Amino acid sequence: MKDKLVIFDTTLRDGEQSPGASMTLEEKIRIARMLEKMRVDVIEAGFPAASPGDFKAVNAISKLIKGSTVCGLARANRQDIKKAGEALKPAASSRIHTFIATSPIHMKFKLRMHPDQVVESAVSAIQQARGYTDNVEFSPEDAGRSEFDFLCRIIEEAIRAGAKTINIPDTVGYNLPAQFGELIRNLMEKIPNSDEAIFSTHCHNDLGLAVANSLAAVMQGARQVECTVNGLGERAGNASLEEIVMAVRTRQDEFSCDTDIDATQIVPASRLVSNITGFPVQPNKAIVGANAFAHEAGIHQDGVIKARETYEIMSAEEVGWGSNRMVLGKHSGRNAFRQRLKTLGFEFGSDQELDDVFCRFKDMADRKHEIYDNDLQALVTESGNIAENERFKLKHLQVHSQTGQTPHAKVVVEVDGVDVNAEDSGNGAVDATFRAIEKIIDSGSELQLYSVNSITSGTDAQGEVSVRLQKDGWIVNGHGADLDIIIASAKSYINALNKLVSSESRMHPQLAEAI
Ligand code: KIV
Ligand code: ZN
């Protein structure tokens, strides 16, 4: 009988700390639902004390998610623990994750605290958290650069105070695999009450070693891994969920544990996170990159045709790469449409939601002959991107572009229910369109990213556009898809502007000064 390896996903917390990866409440809920469907054990939904928006997100996710434990992050102080406990109240299963830095450099310069005070704060935070839930996790932040004897001391006290999970973060991605594995083994051997807690890893990827370090720790007895979809996260990111899960599953000959993850949800989750954050997945990324299962060399193709295992250690289907079959067209009915989406993992809360997406599908079918699974996925994601009470809506766009002439755009945008017209010229058709929209909305924001992806191949493929806007230190991502990439660009720009007007500022957990 194999041990269980707990998968703790922190895409919504550490992942969101990636510069530019901010998400709206609706987006966080969509990702949380996807993680639940993937059978992630613990979803770290946010840092409730960081902002009212974070509190709301953790609270909303706590109400909705029943199949995974919902976790909230809290620094080791009374206000943070209280906020986390309150936000998590409705959860069927909740966890409070409290942390305090233990490395000499963090204690001296960031916290300005004596090690004895750090131990005291950790113990009292854990005791307070136990008043809200039995499921308390403690992290000695920057454990990877902390003194071993001090780590043993604070962890022993943390377990005695009631922490059931001890997470060992390599906060700055400094450790090497053999060293990190040894650290976990030594801690588990030396701490007298270590058998009363599950040891966990939380590795950052500054040296590209987050997955290797996490796996080395699992080899030495860690039974929880903290990770994110697509390896999203602070700086170079966190250990990637898909790589951890598939390494453990593919090398069951080496691991004495396995996860409960439904791996067929890995690729859909990767697409969803990439679409929402605007962070593209590199083509050669393991498991979820577009080329992860593509064989270019003739000799490889020949081998795979004869026996897949000659060059593939996993199957594409196992991790959720569908066949992208052409299934529907202009004559397809509502039932066939609903059935296909169900097969792709999409279900609708109400008939109204289904009707809206079906209308968009019919509109697309009039313009595009062959509709693939990827088109349907983009269509549903695009509908989810449009919140109900948006202030700005694209009503009409006309662009004139001709060799030797300056492109010119005319737009009509509905602003709070009133149609407003504007026109402008620009360096290109997209520039002219964005300028015309800005004439109406006058957001004063700065465009930080503009990217176009084609959803399927061929010149009639849908274009998926992501833009990132920045204003007063607040960053939002907008998305839009259309057969016409200029229209997709306008939709994504307006989507970002809608988010900008409803944004709330938040605090960064590791930059926050006061404990
Ligand atoms: O990287 C880190 O140390 C963290 C902690 C809050 C666990 O994210
Ligand atoms: Zn982290």
Ordered mean pLDDT values, 10 residues apiece, the chain (515 residues): 96 91 89 96 97 95 98 98 98 98 96 97 98 98 98 98 98 98 98 98 98 98 98 95 98 98 94 88 92 74 74 88 71 83 75 86 83 80 67 95 95 95 96 97 93 77 88 86 93 92 65 49
Query: Ligand 1: which residue has its CA nearest to atom 4?
Result: 171
Give the CA distances from residue 82 to residues 125, 133, 466, 499, 515, in Å, rounded to whole numbers and listed in that order.
10, 12, 37, 29, 14
Cα separation, 105 vs 111, whole angstroms: 9
Residue 349 confidence (pLDDT): 72
Q: What is the atom index within ligand 1 of the atom nearest the CA of 13?
A: 8
Pocket lining: 141 vs ligand 1, CB cutoff 6 Å = yes
Query: Ligand 1: which residue has its CA nearest to atom 1?
Result: 171
Strand partners, 471: 474
Residue 513 confidence (pLDDT): 47
Alpha-carbon Rg for the chain in angstroms: 24
| Number of residues in the chain | 515
Q: Ligand nearest 233 Cα, by number?
A: 2
Query: Ligand 1: which residue has its CA nearest to atom 3?
Result: 171
Strand partners, 415: 392, 418
pTM, 2 dp: 0.86
Residue 384 confidence (pLDDT): 66
Dist. CA 56 → ligand 2 center (Å): 21
Residues 6 or more apart whose CB falls under 8 angstroms from that of 94 comprise 62, 69, 70, 71, 72, 88, 132, 133, 135
**Which residue in 45, 49, 44 sits closest to 509, CA to CA?**
49
Q: Within a 13 Å sphere around the CA of 418, how many CA atoms are in the beta-carbon half? A: 4
Q: Which domains occur in the chain, in start order?
A: 3-277 (3.20.20.70), 293-322 (no CATH), 326-386 (no CATH), 389-500 (3.30.160.270)
Record the tokens describing residue 281, joined without a space: 């997945």
Residue 464 confidence (pLDDT): 87
State which amino acid sits at residue 211: V
**Which residue in 459, 466, 487 sits closest to 363, CA to CA?**
487
Query: Ligand 1: which residue has its CA nearest to atom 5?
Result: 141
State which amino acid sits at residue 172: V
Q: Ligand nearest 201 Cα, by number?
A: 1
DSSP state of 104: H
For 138, the enclosing helix (H) or strand (E) is: strand 136-141
Pocket lining: 509 vs ligand 1, CB cutoff 6 Å = yes
DSSP state of 296: -
Residue 296 confidence (pLDDT): 64
- Ligand 1 pocket test, pick from 202, 206, 224, 225 with the greatest ligand atom count within 8 Å of Cβ, gives 202
**Which residue in 375, 328, 380 sits closest to 354, CA to CA?**
380
b/e code 286-317 from CB counts within 10 Å (16+ = b): ebbeeebbebeeeeeeebeeeeeeeebebebe
Extract the runs of DSSP E, i.e. beta strands, from 377-514. 392-400, 408-415, 418-425, 446-454, 463-471, 474-482
